[in-house]
């Protein structure tokens, strides 16, 4: 991906409605000390950006500054800087291209998580290679996004990883279950960013059922189903029901 093109893609995709910035004023002096490893929910999420391309780092930083509530606290331009910078900043999320140079790879992710187990790793890469994807997840990454991701998808990815959830780019979601299988032989769900109830709803959507039918079969209110469908579309990065059905069926869903 061209550096300029990558930056423009990120900047053009900023949501038109904007977002309210939340200013962090620091901890209150009279507040009770928070246990180690437990973040203050009122504080912004902190992120270290690791990418060899300055244009990409600038583009992502611009997206997050417009969004608010997420603070970029450090950057790394080479693999040998990643561990140093994350150890210094101790971020909630490391957003990294693991192939930023010839020395990088899954080893970088492993090193960071060994030193900072509370930091979530979100891979942000142009690489759509099966081996790279498997290596990233097996090294402990919680998410994998392509560099064509929109601003909303980037923000959602950071929030999900910071919350301990998993999120994957829609371009690899359909084949993820075939790439990664736990040692126990259990099936790896292709859309790990969804909750169990959202998975139930998506199964019914993939089967071609309407919201009213899904509500009746799951014994939930129609409004509840409507809200969950909207959330599912956002997490999957699809614009409408037909796109969700194609994505889900390509992943083998829709057999309910």
Residue-wise pLDDT tens digits, 147-201: 989 999 999 999 989 988 888 887 777 666 666 655 444 455 677 778 889 989 9
Alpha helices (H) along 139-221: 151-162, 170-179, 196-206, 211-218
Domains of the chain: 3-23+41-179 (3.40.50.2300), 196-250 (1.10.10.10)
What is the rounded distance in angstroms from the CA atom of residue 9 to the CA atom of residue 13?
Answer: 6
Query: What six digits make up the tokens of 133?
Result: 């994807």
pLDDT of residue 177: 62
* Other CB atoms within 10 Å distance of the CB of residue 12: 9
- Residue 230: C-alpha distances to residues 236, 237, 256 (Å): 10, 11, 20
Instruction: State whether residue 93 is helix, strand or coil.
Output: strand
Q: pTM to 2 decimals?
A: 0.60
Q: What is the pLDDT of residue 188?
A: 58
pLDDT at residue 39, rounded to an integer: 56
Of the segments 38-52, 121-135, 187-201, 211-225, which one has the largest average pLDDT value? 211-225
Judged against a pLDDT cut of 50, whether residue 247 lies above it is answered with: yes
Q: Given a cut of 80, is residue 230 above it in pLDDT?
A: yes
Element (H, E) at 122: strand 120-125
pLDDT at 143 over 80: yes
25-48 pLDDT, tens per residue? Answer: 233 333 333 344 455 667 889 999
Dihedral, 176, 180, 186, 189 alpha carbons, nearest 10: -20
């Amino acid at each position: 991906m061209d550096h300029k093109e990558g930056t423009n893609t990120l900047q053009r995709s900023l949501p038109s409605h904007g977002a309210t910035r939340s200013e962090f004023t620091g901890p209150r002096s009279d507040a009770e000390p928070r246990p180690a490893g437990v973040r203050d929910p009122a504080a912004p999420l902190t992120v270290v950006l690791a990418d060899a391309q300055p244009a990409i780092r600038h583009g992502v930083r611009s997206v997050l500054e417009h969004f608010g509530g997420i603070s970029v606290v450090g950057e790394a331009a080479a693999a040998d800087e990643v561990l140093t910078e994350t150890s210094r900043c101790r971020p909630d999320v490391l957003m990294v291209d693991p192939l930023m140079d010839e020395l990088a790879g899954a080893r970088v992710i492993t090193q960071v998580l060994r030193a900072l187990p509370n930091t979530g790793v979100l891979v942000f890469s142009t690489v759509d290679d099966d081996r790279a994807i498997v290596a990233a997840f097996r090294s402990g990454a919680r998410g994998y996004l392509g560099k064509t991701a929109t601003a909303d998808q980037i923000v959602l990815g950071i929030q999900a990883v910071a919350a301990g959830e998993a999120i994957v780019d829609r371009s690899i979601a359909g084949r993820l279950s075939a790439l990664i299988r736990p040692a126990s032989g259990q099936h790896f769900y292709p859309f790990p960013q969804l909750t169990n109830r959202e998975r139930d709803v998506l199964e019914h959507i993939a089967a071609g059922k309407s919201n009213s039918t899904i509500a009746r079969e799951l014994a939930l209110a129609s409004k509840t189903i409507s809200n969950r469908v909207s959330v599912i579309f956002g997490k999957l990065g699809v614009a409408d029901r037909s796109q969700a059905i194609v994505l889900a069926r390509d992943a083998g869903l829709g057999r309910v």
